[in-house]
Structure 1
Amino acid sequence: MFELQDAFARKFQYLRLSVTDVCNFKCTYCLPDGYRPDGRKSFLTLDEIRRLTRAFAAMGTSKVRITGGEPSLRKDFTDIIETVAATPGIRKVAMTTNGYRMAKQVADWRRAGLTAINVSVDSLDPRMFHQITGQNRFHEVMAGIDAAFDAGFEQVKVNAVLMRGLNDGDLDRFLAWIRDNPIQLRFIELMQTGDMDELFNRHHVRGALIKEQLLKSGWQQKLRAHNDGPAEVFWHPDYAGEVGLIMPYAKDFCASCNRLRVSSLGKLHLCLFGDHGVDLRDLLAEEGQQAALQQRLREALADKKATHFLHQGHTGMTPHLPPSAAEHSPLDCFYRTALA
């Protein structure tokens, strides 16, 4: 029985589950000063993840994306994949990663039940990759993508946050890369969040402009499946790969919302740009709380708004950069956790 539905008849088959907020990269648009712990945190345990996933699956969720921070930093990450994949009703288990551990571990993740993988690659120029991410690991990440195909993944999704003056000139290079490779490039529009007005004004690239270029070049838009994320996906008969555009400022971006988010500390977030989370952790500590947990999910969904308020300048709890000036968001890395 499908129960995860809001007042606007949107159904939520897709859970984005963060398992840590720790990250070893220093991306310009997320953590330019690097990860700074704000105290000793206790992230969701394996048992709590099992109970949470079981409750969501019983209410109609069929897809779980495991995110962070960088999820593979958890020592029990392979066990997490196996636990989620073993949940009755869960048919797709995805992850989003910065890719630095893929070359060594992606085959193990595949065997544990991982069915889809997204990798952040913000530039195909190793020097620009280093400048954006703060890590000189371009070749390791690219080797990880090759290892994913070797492990049996038929497609790998690659995320890039496009920024004017930095990597916007990589578009042709990215397209040449996917001509013969089954990679779905996903260009994420830079968002104006918190105190990053200067960064946004300097580097924002409108996703609509990229869409216009693609359509003029013969790319065609695909229909969205019921449990797909927010990307508008385009295909071309001359290319093995695809292009996805994630444009949070686009008209009706929220109309097809089908995803809920749970942070690494066990809070439900109805929207990336919401003002608060709903604590679930007290109902995850022991068995026998599934009915109460499901009831709390129903009550929370009754308050989900029709849309975000980005156009009015309201960004809710998303990070306020730089992190040295504010506490890191409980939504963890918002580009990887919430969009990709």
Structure 2
Amino acid sequence: MLRRVLSSRVRSCSSGAPVTQPRPGEPSQPAVEEPSRRRQFLREHAAPFSAFLTDSFGRRHSYLRISLTEKCNLRCQYCMPEEGVPLTPKADLLTTEEILTLARLFVKEGVDKIRLTGGEPLIRPDVVNIVAQLRQLEGLRTIGITTNGINLARLLPQLQKAGLSAINISLDTLVPAKFEFIVRRKGFHKVMEGIHKAIELGYSPVKVNCVVMRGLNEDELLDFVALTKGLPLDVRFIEYMPFDGNKWNFKKMVSYKEMLDTLRQRWPELEKLPEEESSTAKAFKIPGFQGQVSFITSMSEHFCGTCNRLRITADGNLKVCLFGNSEVSLRDHLRAGASEEELLSIIGAAVGRKKRQHAGMFNISQMKNRPMILIGG
């Protein structure tokens, strides 16, 4: 059954994938050459980075994740309890104009990448308009979205036209019945349709986020990697992380090294790729495969030293660390009429308090924090 699902999906997704091959006799050009030159140019000509977004350890926070909603049309086991979570009243959530006001401020200070999260961002009615408005911000180079993929095929043409430049799609299994068990809802084929549509529209790579949980889906690692043979996917295996309501247990976590060992037994030729600046992922590629695989090692090998991320929750709180429980309300200050200078002082103070690294998996599991659904990942 699994082989049939895989083979049929590979055929259907491949049909629309734009692939450019070198002509016979032409040397292939490394895909990273032009982006690398561009990054070097931007570093050499960049304006001084904002002191407000630089913490006491010299980390520059140029990446902002904004949660558009607390609502979601799935109930993933690692993200929220089965019964759901109490939602913030609508009046206490950020309005569209408040989201854009904060985005403008952060971009003005040096943020060049914004990712829209949730909840599920694609259930927000004005998500296309928000992307279009963000696209107008001078200095913003990347607008990404992290989605469960249920509504992606329907909305992606509009989102692409509005200016969406990067997509992460959550998918934790390639078995439809297991999908329903993990997310407690139907929708597997809609997610696969969304992946197909992203490839068809030229997104490359399409990032697929897979939270690996022992006894649930660690037996599918090789099947996920096999998808990268003919598809421009970056399959990202994420270590299971503790958050309120997800019943985290150390025994359920499959470490990066264990996953890597499993892959190397099947593909000993697996190559490690150079790490990008401030990347959270350790990336690998099998020679001859179109896509790649990555590991998000938040628990076993943290990447706090190069963290450049800040988060704004749907109710307007600034979180400087995914695993920290310290927050400051930007919404309240906005609604109280705070000036831009006052907001920057508040943001700068919060960034300045950011710790060198998170507390470690066992301490994090004991700390009070929001469920993942209310943070946005």
Task: Give the alignment's TM-score, normalised by structure 2.
Answer: 0.80
Structure 2: which 5+ runs fail to align? 1-47
1:2 partner letter: F
For residue 13 of structure 1, the aligned residue among 38, 44, 62 is: 62
> Deviations along 1:200-241, whole A, 9 cap, x unmatched?
24522112211234456222222333354x111112222111
| Counterpart check, 1:2 vs 2:49 | yes
Deviation at 1:150, TM superposition (A): 2.0
Alpha-carbon spacing, 1:215–1:12, altered in 2? closer, same or farther (3 Å): farther
> Deviations along 1:17-44, whole A, 9 cap, x unmatched?
1111111101111224143434523321
Deviation at 1:137, TM superposition (A): 0.7
> What is aligned with 2:133?
83
> What is aligned with 2:257?
208
| Counterpart check, 1:219 vs 2:260 | no
Query: 1:267 touches 1:278 (CA, 8 Å); kept in 2?
Result: yes
2:197 partner letter: A
SS of 1:309's partner is coil
> Deviations along 1:280-321, whole A, 9 cap, x unmatched?
1134349882222122111111111000002451354434xx
> What is aligned with 2:142?
92
2:70 partner letter: D
The number of equivalent residue pairs is 324
Distance (Å, rounded) in 1 between the aligned partners of 2:277 and 2:136: 22
Distance (Å, rounded) in 2 between the aligned partners of 1:288 and 1:274: 25
Alpha-carbon spacing, 1:51–1:173, altered in 2? closer, same or farther (3 Å): same
Structure 1: which 5+ runs fail to align? 320-328
Distance (Å, rounded) in 1 between the aligned partners of 2:373 and 2:299: 21
Alpha-carbon spacing, 1:15–1:317, altered in 2? closer, same or farther (3 Å): farther
Q: Once structures 1 and 2 are overlaid, which stretch shifts more, 53-62 or 39-48? A: 39-48
SS of 2:355's partner is coil
Query: 1:161 touches 1:187 (CA, 8 Å); kept in 2?
Result: yes
For residue 23 of structure 1, the aligned residue among 72, 81, 96 is: 72
> Deviations along 1:121-159, whole A, 9 cap, x unmatched?
110111111110112211111011111122231221001
Deviation at 1:82, TM superposition (A): 1.1
> What is aligned with 2:222?
172
> Deviations along 1:99-139, whole A, 9 cap, x unmatched?
00011111111111100000011101111111101122111
Deviation at 1:16, TM superposition (A): 0.8
Q: How does 1:7-156 map to 2 (within 5 A)?
A: 7-38=56-87, 40-42=89-91, 43-156=93-206
Larger Rg: 2
Query: 2:238 touches 2:295 (CA, 8 Å); kept in 1?
Result: yes
SS of 2:57's partner is coil
Identical aligned residues as a percent: 35
> What is aligned with 1:332?
373
SS of 1:284's partner is helix
Q: Which has the larger helix fraction?
A: 2
1:332 partner letter: I
Query: 1:13 touches 1:227 (CA, 8 Å); kept in 2?
Result: no
Alpha-carbon spacing, 1:193–1:50, altered in 2? closer, same or farther (3 Å): closer
Deviation at 1:262, TM superposition (A): 0.7
1:268 partner letter: L
2:151 partner letter: R
Alpha-carbon spacing, 1:36–1:312, altered in 2? closer, same or farther (3 Å): closer
SS of 2:324's partner is coil
